[in-house]
Amino acid sequence: MPDAFADHLIDTPPAAENSLAVYTTLRLGGPAGTLTTAVHADEAVETVRAASAAGRPVLVLAGGSNVVIGDAGFPGETLLLRTGGIEIVGEDPASVVVRVAAGETWDDFVSYAVTNSLSGVECLSGIPGSAGATPIQNVGAYGQEVGHTIEAVHAYDRVADEIRKMTPAECGFGYRASVFKHNDRYLVLSVDFRLERSSDSAPIRYAELARSLGAEAGDRVPLDLARDTVLKLRAGKGMVLDPEDRDTWSVGSFFTNPVISEELFRTLGEIPHWPAGDDMVKLPAAWLIERAGFPKGFAGDGVAISGKHTLALTNRGAGSTTALLDLARTIRDGVRTRFGVDLHPEPVLVNCEF
């Protein structure tokens, strides 16, 4: 199927031949060594298998929404995953299991779920990228994570040279983490989601969303209302792709919210926070960044913090990956100096370092 995000990127400024910039939402990245497009899962497997046999590194790209590629590009094999399909593979009176191809556009799947009165992913509306990318970092927003509904991940295991059906426990889901992240052993081919049969949302868990809905934490609201409200909230933060809005030329949140010990937290004074379990506390990265002296719109060389959302680092049209990472380091160092807290990048870094 066509890749909606690649279509959006066709009108970017001229880039080098085989430039990977046209396949990323940042519109940054140097040339690919080799580009191969797979529209079927078996084509993807054979591409990766052949590259592994030849000792060539492989970069898999679908929506390109959570990856930062170096200015030198990627010298190996770049696989453009363009598989598609959504099908029900199991059901009972209370729920259904929906299998989604890895290359399927994520928000198309969320729209499908809401339209068919299937509850569990509605608060993940508007997130760019592909369905296959979501388990890699256990994508989450507004109180939901894909790990809450994933029944299984079907992946090609390059070491064992076999396709595996992996349980949630085997996926090792954590906060924006899984066994797939920073690990090229697995090629995600499809994902099974167990969704509740309901025209109402899952219980609302996120305070900002509850306020916008005029609801209380734990309330359920109509699915389409939850989706529409999330889309409006995300658009207001530049988190819904818009080719005309350079505040959306980003990877979404560049930094994860830091999780620190309660002991360190007690030394910091009054800071917004949430319990993270095991004597740990989660802090809002955006709050730390702003209080460290980096407001919305803070600019680097052709790059800047979004004018709508402090966690988004954006390409203003003439940026480079080097400039983006320089800005990220400046922010990281400023937060460390001010609070003694380290920020860590959320996206996958390819042929570049933070």
Q: What is the pLDDT of residues 191-231, one digit of tens each?
A: 999 999 999 999 999 999 999 999 999 999 999 999 999 99
3-state per-residue secondary structure call for the chain: CCCHHHHHHCCCCCCCCCEHHHHCCCCCCCEEEEEEEECCHHHHHHHHHHHHHHCCCEEEECCCCCEEECCCCEEEEEEEECCCCEEEEEECCCEEEEEEECCCEHHHHHHHHHHCCEECCHHHCCCCCEHHHCCCCCCEECCEEHHHCEEEEEEEECCCCEEEEECHHHHCCECCECCCCCCCCEEEEEEEEEEEECCECCCCCCHHHHHHHCCCCCCCCEHHHHHHHHHHHHHHCCCCCCCCCHHHCCCCECECCCEEEHHHHCCCCCCCCEEEECCEEECCHHHHHHHCCCCCCCECCCEEECCCCCCEEEECCCCCHHHHHHHHHHHHHHHHHHHCCCCCECCEEECCCC
Percent of the chain with pLDDT over 90: 92
pLDDT given at position 2:
33
- Placement of tokens 């906060």 in the chain: 175
Indicate whether 7 pLDDT > 60.
no
Contact 142, 122 (CB under 8 A): no
Burial of 318 (0-12, 13-18, 19+ CB in 10 A): exposed
Q: pLDDT digits over 148-175, tens only?
A: 999 999 999 999 999 999 999 999 999 8
User: What pTM did the predictor assign?
Assistant: 0.88
Contact 350, 336 (CB under 8 A): no
pLDDT band at 17 (very low <50, low <70, confident <90, very high): low
pLDDT band at 182 (very low <50, low <70, confident <90, very high): confident
pLDDT given at position 169:
97
Q: In terms of Cα–Cα distance, which of 350, 261, 87 is closest to 273?
A: 261
For the packed helices 223-236 and 106-115, what is the interaxial angle rounded to 10 degrees? 150
- Residues serving a catalytic function are 176, 253, 346
- Please tell me which of 53-57, 267-271, 285-289 the model is most confident about, judged by mean pLDDT: 285-289
CB atoms inside a 10 Å sphere around CB 265: 18
- Placement of tokens 């400039």 in the chain: 323
Indicate whether 16 pLDDT > 70.
no
Through-space distance between the first and last CA atoms of the chain, rounded to whole angstroms: 34
Q: Which residues pair with 188 in a beta bridge?
A: 155
Indicate whether 6 pLDDT > 90.
no
- Average pLDDT (116-142) is 96
Give Rg (Cα) of the chain.
20
pLDDT band at 18 (very low <50, low <70, confident <90, very high): confident
Angstrom distance (rounded) from CA 332 to CA 327: 9
For all residues of the chain together, what is the average pLDDT?
93
Tokens at 288, concatenated: 């730390």
Q: In terms of Cα–Cα distance, which of 171, 170, 154 is closest to 162?
A: 154
pLDDT given at position 8:
32
Q: pLDDT digits over 75-94, tens only?
A: 999 999 999 999 999 999 99
